[in-house]
Chain A
Amino acid sequence: MSSYLPYIVIGLASGSVYAIAAMGLVVTYKTSGVFNFAHGAVGMAATFVFYSLRVDLGLPTWIAGVTAVLVVGPGLGLLIDRVLLRRLVGAPSSTYLVVSVALLVALQGFFLAVYRIGIRRMAPILPSSSFRLLGVNVGWDQASVVLIAAAVGGALFLFFRTRLGVLTRAVVEEPGLAQLAGINGGLLTTASWMLGGALAALAGVLLTPELGVDAVILTLLVVQAFGAAAVGRLVNLPRTYCGALVIGILAALSTRFVVDYPSLQGIPSSLPFIVLFAVLVLSGRGTFVEFAQDQTPQRTAAALAGRRFPGRLLLLLTIGALAAQGQMSSSRLITATTVLIYVLVFSSLGLLVGLSRQVSLCHVVFVAFGASTIARLLDTGTPYPVALVVTGLAMVPLGALVAIPAIRLSGLFLALATFAFGVLAQGLLYPTVVAFGGRAVLTIRRPTVLGIDFASPRAFYLLTLGVVLAGVVAVELVRVSRLGRLLRALGDSPTAMHSLGVDPLVPRVLVFCLAAFLAGITGALLGTLTTSVNAQTFNSFQSLIWVTVLVAAGPFSLGGAVIAALLLVWLPALVTSPTVIQWQPVAFGLAAILLAQSHNGLAGWADRRRWPDVARLAQGSEWRLGSVRGRERLEGA
Chain B
Amino acid sequence: MALLEVRNLRAGYGRTEVLHGVDFIVPPAATVVLLGPNGAGKTTLLHTVAGLVPVRSGDLTFNGASIAGTPAYRRVRDGICLIPEGRGVFRHLTVGENLLVSAGPEQAATAVDQAVAIFPALRDRLRLEAGALSGGQQQMLALARAFLTQAPLILCDEPSIGLAPVVIDELLEAIGTLRRAGRSLVLVEQYVQRALDLADYVYILSKGVVAFVGEPAECDSGTVFAQYLGASHG
Residues of A within 8 A of B (CB): 163, 166-167, 169-170, 173-174, 176-185, 289, 296, 298, 620-621, 624
Contact = CB atoms under 8 A, between A and B. Distances in A.
Contacts, number: 69
Interface in B140-165: 145, 149
B93 A177 contact: no
Contacts of B16: 624
B149 A624 contact: no
Interface of B: 14-16, 50-52, 71-73, 76-77, 81-82, 84, 88-93, 97, 100-102, 104-105, 108, 145, 149
Given A178-B101, A180-B50, 11 more contacts: A163-B105, A166-B93, A169-B92, A176-B52, A177-B90, A179-B72, A180-B84, A181-B145, A182-B77, A298-B14, A621-B15
Contacts of B88: 177, 180
B217 to A, nearest CB: 33
A282 B227 CA distance: 60
Most buried by B among A179, A180, A621: A180
26 contacts: A163-B100, A163-B101, A163-B105, A163-B108, A166-B100, A169-B92, A169-B97, A170-B90, A170-B97, A170-B101, A173-B90, A176-B52, A177-B89, A178-B90, A178-B101, A179-B72, A180-B50, A180-B72, A180-B76, A180-B88, A181-B76, A296-B14, A298-B14, A620-B15, A621-B15, A624-B15
Contact of B71 (A163, A173, A184): A184
Nearest to A169: B93
A177 B82 CA distance: 9
The 3 closest A-B pairs by CB, nearest first: A182-B76, A179-B72, A170-B101
Given A163-B100, A180-B76, A174 B105 contact: no
A300 B31 CA distance: 42
B101 A167 contact: yes
A181 B52 contact: no
A196 to B, nearest CB: 20
A185 B73 contact: yes
Nearest to A166: B97
Among B52, B76, B88, B92, the most chain A Cβ lie within 10 Å of the Cβ of B92
Contact of B149 (A178, A182, A184): A182
B37 to A, nearest CB: 17
Given A166-B93, A169-B92, A182 B52 contact: no
A621 B81 CA distance: 35
Nearest to B130: A173
B127 to A, nearest CB: 13
Contacts of A624: 15-16
B84 to A, nearest CB: 7
Nearest to A298: B14
B69 to A, nearest CB: 15
A624 B14 CA distance: 11
A167 B71 CA distance: 17
Contacts of A182: 73, 76-77, 104, 149
Contacts of B101: 163, 166-167, 170, 178, 181, 183
Contacts of A620: 14-15
A167 B84 CA distance: 19
A296 B16 CA distance: 14
A623 to B, nearest CB: 10
A621 B15 CA distance: 9
Nearest to B105: A163
Contact of B73 (A174, A179, A289): A179
A368 B72 CA distance: 53
A520 B82 CA distance: 56
Nearest to B111: A163
Contacts of B15: 620-621, 624
Nearest to B50: A180
A174 B105 CA distance: 20
B12 to A, nearest CB: 12
A298 B16 CA distance: 13
Nearest to B72: A179
A179 B14 CA distance: 21
A624 B12 CA distance: 14
Nearest to B148: A181
Contacts of A169: 90, 92-93, 97
B76 to A, nearest CB: 3
A185 B71 CA distance: 11
Nearest to A296: B14
Contacts of A184: 71, 73
Nearest to B83: A180
Contacts of A181: 73, 76, 101-102, 145
Nearest to B109: A163
A174 B52 CA distance: 13
Contacts of B77: 182
Contacts of A163: 100-101, 105, 108
Contacts of A296: 14
B93 A179 contact: no
B71 A174 contact: no
Contacts of B71: 179, 184
A167 B76 CA distance: 15
B82 A180 contact: yes
B51 A179 contact: yes
B24 to A, nearest CB: 19
Contacts of B50: 180
A115 B127 CA distance: 53
Contacts of A180: 50, 52, 72, 76, 81-82, 84, 88, 145
B17 to A, nearest CB: 11
A79 to B, nearest CB: 22
B51 A177 contact: no
Nearest to A619: B15
B90 A174 contact: yes
A183 B90 contact: no
A178 B52 CA distance: 11
A173 B82 contact: no
A166 B50 CA distance: 23
A126 B9 CA distance: 64
Contacts of A166: 93, 97, 100-101
Contacts of B100: 163, 166
A632 B15 CA distance: 18
Contacts of B52: 176, 179-180
Contact of A170 (B76, B93, B149): B93
A86 to B, nearest CB: 14
B163 to A, nearest CB: 19
Tell which of A182, A184, A298 has the most Cβ of chain B within 10 Å.
A182
**Which of B15, B16, B81 has the largest number of chain A CB atoms within 10 A?**
B15
Contacts of B81: 180
A167 to B, nearest CB: 6
B91 A173 contact: yes
B208 to A, nearest CB: 14
A620 B90 CA distance: 32
Nearest to B149: A182
Contacts of B76: 179-182
A206 B91 CA distance: 39
Nearest to B82: A180
Contacts of B145: 180-181
A183 B92 contact: no
Contacts of B102: 181
A298 B13 CA distance: 12
A298 B89 CA distance: 28
A177 B73 contact: no
A593 B91 CA distance: 33
A298 B15 CA distance: 11
A181 B99 CA distance: 10
A556 to B, nearest CB: 22
A174 B86 CA distance: 13
A77 B100 CA distance: 28
